[in-house]
Amino acid sequence: MKFRLFRRRLTISSPRMSVRSALPWPVRWILGAVMLGFSAAIALWAFEFGKGIAGLDTNAKQELQLLRAEVSVLRADRERAQSIANTSGSLLTAEKAAQEKMAAQIRQLESDNLLLRDDLGFFEKLLPAGGADGVSIRSLQAELLSNTQLKWQVLVIQPVKGAPDFNGKLDMTVNGTLAGKPWTANLPGGAQSLQLKQYRRIEGILDLPPQAVVQTVTAKVLEGAAIRSVQTFKLK
């Protein structure tokens, strides 16, 4: 019987045993935390000590300072380049606007020059002709704008200084052929009123019927029933 009890104790069916530590679990946690912290401090010190021995920390600080300085320089260069680009864009815009304005002024001057040339041809004829007296037609011009339109222009002057105002009429007569037959036309509504002190230039456009061929244009200055001046222009 004793042998069976002894064998039962040695086998798996023997009663369980537990070993307990003399230290309570909060103390064990605290000791574990202290050991971990101490190990981490030693590892950090070893790492810093290794960087100091290798000279990595000093070089890193110097390189960091250099990089910061280069970044500052690059930022200043970028801002300067951006400012130059903005200024260049403004200058280009202003220059383009000035060129467009100058081109418009040149076109206007060319147009004014043509008008002045046209006026010069007329006003040169304002010079008094020797021995001329009373109102007279100084110039008559005519040109075909198209097959159905005729432009005419008349300059009437009084070459005598201090002459009284002239009140009369201007009559235009167009001679030619229409469909191969002789044809004559006058201003629509007949002779038009004409008043002038020293000179006056009159112009207009006369509508022509189809198939009309204009050969001559005659201008007459009338004072009442009297004809004061007559001039005829032949179209080429």
Contact 135, 228 (CB under 8 A): yes
Evaluate whether 207 touches 187 at the Cβ level (below 8 Å).
no
Pairing relationship of beta strands 136-146 and 192-196 according to DSSP bridges? unpaired
Domain positions in the chain: 46-126, 132-234
Our CA dihedral for 126, 132, 137, 141, rounded to 10 degrees, sits at -60
Between CA 220 and CA 150, with CA 169 as vertex, the angle to 5 degrees is: 55
Q: Which residues contact 128 (CB under 8 A, 6 or more apart)?
A: 159, 160
* Position 57 confidence tier, pLDDT thresholds 50, 70, 90: low
Element (H, E) at 182: strand 181-186
Q: Which of 207 and 36 is assigned the larger pLDDT? A: 207
131 pLDDT tier (thresholds 50, 70, 90): very low
Grouping H, G, I as helix, E, B as strand and the rest as coil, residue 7 is: helix
The amino acid present at 63, given as its one-letter code, is E
Strand partners, 201: 155
Over the stretch 59-69, which tens digit does the pLDDT of each residue have? 667 777 888 88
Q: In angstroms, rounded to a whole number, what is the distance separating the alpha carbons of residues 60 and 54?
A: 11
Query: Which two structure tokens, joined as six digits, stand for 123?
Result: 């006003």
Residue 88, burial from CB neighbour count under 10 angstroms (0-12, 13-18, 19+): exposed
Phi and psi at 162, nearest 5°, equal 75, 15
Which residues, 6+ apart, have CB-to-CB distance to 51 below 8 Å? 57
The predicted-structure confidence for 169-222, as pLDDT tens digits, reads as follows 999 999 999 988 999 999 888 888 988 888 888 899 999 998 889 999 999 999
Q: What is the pLDDT of residue 161?
A: 73
Q: Which residue has the higher pLDDT, 125 or 96?
A: 96
Which numeric CATH code is attached to 132-234? 2.60.40.10
Look up the pTM and report it: 0.46
Environment class of residue 155 by beta-carbon count within 10 Å: exposed (0-12), middle (13-18) or buried (19+)?
Answer: buried
| Predicted pLDDT of residue 133 | 60
